[in-house]
Amino acid sequence: MKNVFEMQDFTVTLEGGYGERLRVVSDVSLSIAEGKITGLIGESGSGKTVLWQTALGLRDPKHWSCAGGVWLAGRALDPGKPEAILRQRGESVSVILQDPMSAFDDLFTIEQHFWETARAHTNWSREETGYRAHALLERLYINDPAAVLASYPFQCSGGMLQRVMIAIALMFSSPLIIADEPTTSVDITVSREILAMLRELNKVNGTSILFISHDLKAVEHLADEICVMYGGYIVEQFPRGELSNGGAKHPYTRKLIAARPVFSKERLDVLRGNPPRLEERQSGCPFYSRCDFAEPACAAFDMRETLVSPAHSIRCRRSEEIN
């Protein structure tokens, strides 16, 4: 099966204000196959958004540098030259952002947003773009597409704008969609509708999806494969079924699972402490200070990857001891 997106030993470094170099993402290797959904979970600050934004050249190369390989639709990307991959953004990959309220310009109508996007990537006429936008909004269960297209963003609800953003992402039938926290700013009803839309898009169109979320339940429902990110590393990667059958191995993954809200009177197992800030990250396991299984040797662990099975990998010094 061919991959539509692939990273190999991808590392991202931020140039600090006093000449220091802060590593934000470390040695990430992941691939998304045609027609598959990969879920990426982890706390805020773990590097999830920086990972894809840097790979697609959306971070200023004056301050953000990267190493390693990135391939999109079979073509190598050079994140250090954003202008060279501008064309592929939209054609080979589309993005659904997490905050629809700030993703639109209130000075332009929804129709103008469709037109500006189409003009950057196609030679469609304004009439053809409007026809396609109308059809996409209908597909996303918007009752009066014409009224929405004539509206300004501030006249629309968050749920409506999220649907509009999905429609814009679908406009070019990109083989890959990156959905970065698409359910964060909407209520549970709209959240379920968005997840259903993404699943339908995957099943009907064969679109591959990188689904980034804090919601373990949503990731478990949607993804075929799950990557757990912490402190800039993919600390564990496994098939979806491992999440529900107790197959997750890394102490951080287990803590995330234990902290999921449940309908019972039992007290949740709270994950103590906070993720390390960039300037606090040193050598060794970044989860060392919060781990129940930590030993002195973990502070010097080289974060090498160990295979639990052909489809399950983990970065933990005690990977063979944890059952």
**pLDDT tens column, 294-312:** 899 998 999 999 998 899 9
Q: Which helix (H) or strand (E) holds 218?
A: helix 216-222
Quick check: helix, strand or coil at residue 297?
Answer: helix
Average pLDDT over residues 87-97: 84
**Contact of 275 with 311, CB cutoff 8 Å:** no
Please indicate whether residue 89 or residue 298 has the higher confidence score (pLDDT): 298
Rounded Cα distance between 24 and 67, Å, is 12
The b-or-e profile of 253-278 (16+ CB within 10 A means b, else e) is bbbbeeeeeeeeeeeeeebeeebbee
**Contact of 130 with 149, CB cutoff 8 Å:** yes
Banded pLDDT at 64 (limits 50, 70, 90): very high
Banded pLDDT at 101 (limits 50, 70, 90): confident
pLDDT at 7 over 90: yes
- Counting beta carbons within 10 angstroms of the beta carbon of residue 320, is it exposed (0 to 12), middle (13 to 18) or buried (19 or more)? exposed
Provide CB contacts within 8 A for 209, sequence distance 6+: 32, 37, 38, 176, 177, 178, 179, 198, 201, 202, 222
Rounded Cα distance between 173 and 244, Å, is 33
Please indicate whether residue 194 or residue 35 has the higher confidence score (pLDDT): 35
Q: Where are the domains of the chain?
A: 3-92+174-273+303-314, 102-173
In this predicted structure, what is the pLDDT of residue 321? 67
Average pLDDT over residues 279-304: 88
Q: Position of tokens 């979320």?
A: 213
Amino acid letter, residue 119: R
Q: Position of tokens 């589309």?
A: 94
Average pLDDT over residues 217-244: 91
Q: Is the pTM of this model over 0.85?
A: yes
Average pLDDT over residues 66-82: 89
pLDDT at 25 over 70: yes
Average pLDDT over residues 235-263: 85
In this predicted structure, what is the pLDDT of residue 210? 96
Fold of 3-92+174-273+303-314: Rossmann fold (3.40.50)
In this predicted structure, what is the pLDDT of residue 41? 94
Amino acid letter, residue 290: R
